[in-house]
Structure 1
Amino acid sequence: MSSLFDLTIQVKPEHIDVLGHVNNVVYVQWMQDVASAHIEKLGVGLAHYLEMKHAMVAVEHQVQYRKAAMLEDEIILRTWLYDINALYSFRQYAFFNAKDKSLLFTGNTKWACIEIATGRPKRMSPTFIQAYQPIATDVDPYDLSSIVSI
């Protein structure tokens, strides 16, 4: 079973758009960043993909912007796996302002397993299936009570 995974980042000038807040495409990049960090922690990161000759690739994103993040804000990027089958894993995201714990963004991604050499769909290996198990149903991924505000 996997767990919640948090990565804290600080909003930098290059994340800001002409409206003075984090640009929408930056959130999608953060989805990729926190997912990559999570799979590394699970022991099935990019180097493992190359060894196994198959990888997980994003095939669908859904995003919802709730509140703007501003320059120098500390952001908690949270992700977790919530479903899996032979070909796909499903990951959710919730990004929070670390100071006031307000929810800034939610999203989810459908990831497909592919053969690296051909780019064609492939059934997930037992290694992937074991690592990408969903979080327990009694875990509330939106509960930040264990995180100390800055």
Structure 2
Amino acid sequence: MAKQKKWNEMSTVFDMKITVQPEHIDVLGHVNNVVYVGWMQDVATAHISETGLGLEQYLEMNHAMVAVEHHVQYRKAAMLGDEIILRTWFYDINALYSFRQYAFFKAEDKSLLFTATTKWACVEISTGRAKRMSPTFMQAYQPLNSDIDPFQL
């Protein structure tokens, strides 16, 4: 009998640091709004990969999570050379959807630059149709422990 892999349970925040590069800057001299959405994808992908449940496993299982809705709030501009802490965590899950939050901070002074939420749907890769999340996904995408304040660095 094959031993079943136990996925890491995601019940804490996940941080990733980046430095604002020239290609992130728009004509107004600050990070372009679209870049933040790309960073949301980057930190979410890094977060799931940390569990051992990344793209390779998605392909093996023939299902994946796709973004269906974003809500974003731009609070303060990020500038060239700023070191940014990209933080994400899960705050809810059900059979079809997982719900992820984001908070991006300027590392130097811990100021909050950006917040967002994403509703992710589970789909079968081969058909593109919605499907119920497998127990593997349900185990890996655990909401943040309520004792943790994700807005505190």
Query: Which TM-score applies when normalising by structure 1?
Result: 0.95
Amino acid at match of 1:11: V
Runs of 4+ in 1 over 4 A off after TM superposition: none
Q: Is 1:127 equivalent to 2:124 in the alignment?
A: no
Q: Distance in 1 between matches of 2:33 and 2:129?
A: 30
**Which ranges in structure 2 are unaligned for 5 or more consecutive residues?**
1-8
Match of 2:51 in 1: 42
**Correspondence 1:31 to 2:40:** yes
Alignment of 1:1-150 (within 5 A): 1-2=9-10, 3-144=12-153
Paired residue secondary structure (2:41): helix
Counterpart AA for 2:110? K
Identity %: 76
SS in 2 for 1:39: helix
TM-score, reference length from structure 2: 0.93
- Conservation of the 8 A alpha-carbon contact between 1:43 and 1:131: no
Q: CA RMSD in A?
A: 0.5
Unmatched 5+ stretches in structure 1: 145-150
For these two proteins, the number of residue pairs brought into alignment is 144
- CA shift digits 1:111-138 (9 cap, x unpaired): 0000001100010000000000101111
Amino acid at match of 1:88: Y
1:43 offset after TM fit, Å? 1.6
Distance 2:84 2:122 in 1: 30
State the distance in 2 between where 1:92 and 1:135 align.
10
Distance 1:116 1:45 in 2: 14
Measure how far apart 1:42 and its partner are: 1.4
Contact 1:11/1:73 (<8 A) preserved = yes
Cα distance in 2 for residues equivalent to 1:89 and 1:32: 14
